[in-house]
Structure 1
Amino acid sequence: MACVHDHSCEDHDCSSDFSLYKNIDLPRVSALNEAVQGSAKSVFKAWEQRLDISTGLLESNDGDPELIVFIPFTSDVKIKSISIVGGADGTSPAKMRAFINREGIDFSDAQGMQPVQEWDLAENLQGVLEYQTRYSRFQSVGSLTLHFPENFNADTTQIHYIGLKGEATQLKRDVIATIVYEVMPNPSDHKTKAETGGGLSSV
């Protein structure tokens, strides 16, 4: 389901309206089948910059419109909606499929797996559409993988902007990993008396 902004963003700060932009672990963002390596990072920006094409775009290889974008977060998030601004002349993605907390998904995996949710997309050149998630399924999201299997019959797929809205937890991902590590017993922390020199010695 998509909703349309029906307010004036001059009077309403859309950029801070539950935006998860600052919670994305941008250096770790990656994509499969991108024509220019590393270009996926350029589509994540503040909402008011969503139509700024000077920052770059994500484009698939010529003749193959399929794209996969991996989006890790610095803290667990709850995702309420996703916005996609695609290219003109049929290059916008026509479908989107979402997977959560699954790293390393390739095209074979994506085609064979059941997504958490999928959407039929409209050509959204002005960035006024937001696609609502099934919110209860998008809780405790440490990473989001978006699969764009097709476009509107163009040779390549272009994406200028991906926007995510929701809520972030206060617990950072590295803190979570530390907590898990501390909870799990480490054998080196539980040495026997003999190993620590505390055992009985014979004369």
Structure 2
Amino acid sequence: MSGHGHGHGHGHGHGCGCQAEHEPAERGVEFGLYRRIDLDKLQCLNESLDGHGRLVFKPWEQRRDREKFVESDADEELLFNIPFTGSVKLKGVIISGEDDDSHPSEMRLYKNMPHMSFDDTGREPEQVFRLNRDTTAELEYPTKITRFSNVEHLSIHLSRNFGADSTRVYYIGLRGEYSEAHRHEVTICTYEASANPADHRVETMTPQTHFIS
């Protein structure tokens, strides 16, 4: 019920596009982590239409596109499970929504918890943010980089909005650095090659049958 207290319009969302026009090109490159998301495995829980959660991860130049969005279903919560194709150092997040009470007001970030569900949201998150309304994808929320230096899976829990029955999101931008995944299978050791022959003397007397009780 307290959501009405946030109704003051800041007015900066529509009238100051001039700054965005002169942004350094590098910022778009830094927000390119969407290309490192395994979209086929991305999950969005409580989305009203299946598959719409992945639509909000867009190229930087499409961050103000209003045609693609995700809206929550049963209540105001949304939970994104975002697997990366390698290891990420997450430095910042942008969340853009509608200029009304459906805009998320709180974001909770969790690291390396694949297949997270709403039952898991009682756990202590790595970081919590109070969000402001942002319709033009300008406000960045910097992370505590020491906590997000080896992220292979990121969960974003939008736990509440400004008072509406559902939450709507148009864009989620992720800024950071990416490194390739390590190929663990090439490090398998053939340690049996130098085994002591004495270790194998009992093999001739030990049946190789395994009984399953």
Task: Tell me the TM-score normalized by structure 1.
Answer: 0.80
Note the alpha carbon deviations across 1:39-91, whole angstroms, 9 max, x for none: 1110001111011122x2111015x0011001111110100000000123211
Note the alpha carbon deviations across 1:86-118, whole angstroms, 9 max, x for none: 1232111100000011012111211x2000000
Structure 2 unpaired stretches of 5+: 1-16, 198-202, 205-213
Mapped contact 1:18–1:167 kept (Cα < 8 A)? no
Alignment of structure 1 residues 42-191 onto 2, 5 Å: 42-54=55-67, 56-62=68-74, 64-110=75-121, 112-169=122-179, 171-172=180-181, 175-179=182-186, 182-183=187-188
Note the alpha carbon deviations across 1:103-138, whole angstroms, 9 max, x for none: 12111211x200000000001111110000001100
Aligned length, in residue pairs? 182
- Does residue 1:35 correspond to 2:48, yes or no? yes
Q: Which residue of 2 aligns with 1:21?
A: 34
Report the RMSD for the aligned CA atoms in angstroms: 2.7
Greater per-residue helix proportion: 2
Q: Which has the larger radius of gyration?
A: 2
Structure 1 unpaired stretches of 5+: 194-198
Mapped contact 2:58–2:171 kept (Cα < 8 A)? yes
Q: Identity across aligned pairs (percent)?
A: 35
Task: Tell me the TM-score normalized by structure 2.
Answer: 0.76
